[in-house]
Amino acid sequence: MNDHERAPEDAAARRAIRPVICYPDDGLPQPDMPLYDAARRGAVKIDEVTVPPRDARAFRVPAGHFFRISSVEGPQVGDLNLWNADNLSERFFSGKTRALHGTHVSTGDRLWSCLPYLRPMATIVADTLAWYGTDPYGGRVHDVIGTRCDPYTHQLLAGNTYHHCCHSNLTRALASVTGQPLTGAEMDVHDVLNVFMCTGFTADTGQYFMKASPVRPGDYLEAFAEIDLLGALSACPGGDCSAEHSSDRASCHPLLVEVFRPRPGALADWAPPPVNSYDRSHGAS
């Protein structure tokens, strides 16, 4: 250790300084959960999509509708991308969602879109894994910290080619539904909500970890679409992510996406949120 790496004499005092929340949520617009709960009662299913293991499928959810992601056969993690159905440049922003709500999301949290739009795309209204909380390792469920398994990192770390990483699965699904070439669709794939995935950071090294998901058949995460959505969900090749991902060795299972339409009039005067009101002048004269 050289002199520049040695701790200063006041190191303990510096470490003892209390943290400050970066984005206090006092001013954050809150979802009308009672309204959503009432609208969900009596809603009818209008569509469903089964996502095969180690693959992805796209789906659409009109604004004011609900969508549910379910485990149907066995423990399985899913990687979710969301876009504005009419403008793919507005997409889910996992980093800002993490900054506003924390590393993992659950009922009452919202999935925010990227800059310059920055508005709620969806609001989580039900989570059957909310009971899990935080385990002794610091693990929690439904993270917005992992990126998505991808063939580039796999090539870097393992030195071989694997085509069914979630990044590639999502790319194929988006290309299929939009008609884009794979190279174009890939540029619209983005960091995900890791549905059902149990993750955290190690206390000693700060490394991102995963462990066996507690998800059981019948568990689900459900959200309300704040705007017209195009979604894509990948059934991760890691299965329940108890050991590894980006391989064909894990036991994998399908996932189910269902879309529900509220009864007429159930949402009263609700309207989709407008895009962020910042004028985009950025201080230029």
57-105 pLDDT, tens digit per residue, is 999 999 999 999 999 999 999 999 999 999 999 999 999 999 999 999 9
Q: Which phi and psi angles does 230 have, rounded to 5°? A: -110, 125
Confidence of residue 2 (pLDDT cuts 50, 70, 90): confident
pLDDT at 70: 98
pLDDT above 90 coverage of the chain, percent: 91
Rounded mean pLDDT, 150-164: 93
Dist. CA 236–CA 239, nearest whole Å: 6
Cβ(23)–Cβ(100) below 8 Å: yes
pLDDT one-digit tens code per residue, 199-209: 999 999 999 99
Cβ(31)–Cβ(225) below 8 Å: no
Task: Give yes or no for residue 246 having a pLDDT over 80.
Answer: no
Structure tokens at 271: 């309207």
Dist. CA 75–CA 238, nearest whole Å: 10
- State the greatest distance between any 2 C-alpha atoms of the chain, in Å, as a whole number: 70
Dist. CA 87–CA 215, nearest whole Å: 33
pLDDT at 1: 62
- Using omega within 30 degrees of 0 as the cis cutoff, is the peptide bond preceding 116 cis? yes
pLDDT one-digit tens code per residue, 14-73: 999 999 999 988 889 999 999 999 999 999 999 999 999 999 999 999 999 999 999 999
Helix axes 151-158, 166-178, angle to 10 degrees: 150
Confidence of residue 228 (pLDDT cuts 50, 70, 90): very high
